[in-house]
Amino acid sequence: MFDPTAFENMKVVLEGAVYDRDFIGDILVINRDDIVNLSTMSRSYKIEMELKKQTRPFPLAVPLSYTLPYIT
């Protein structure tokens, strides 16, 4: 596993903010991907959500990613 990096810290802050809004009832989290590629030492994270108070669904995705050159 990876040691905590700036990526992990940003991911935790993003998740906390998104899930706080989900708990309040403003948005609904509809999907989440957290992928670690050990062969390339890269990582990607994406969280998808939509506003609850819309007449039609309006999905939004927030991606984070990094590769080996950014952590060495």
Instruction: Supply the pTM of this predicted model.
Output: 0.80
In whole angstroms, what is the distance from residue 56 CA to residue 52 CA? 9
55 or 15: whose pLDDT is higher?
A: 15
Neighbours of 43 (CB within 10 A): 22
Q: What is the pLDDT of residue 21?
A: 95
44 or 55: whose pLDDT is higher?
A: 44
Length of the chain: 72
Averaged pLDDT score across all residues of the chain? 88
27 or 67: whose pLDDT is higher?
A: 27
Q: What is the pLDDT of residue 20?
A: 97
Residue spans of the domains in the chain: they are 6-70
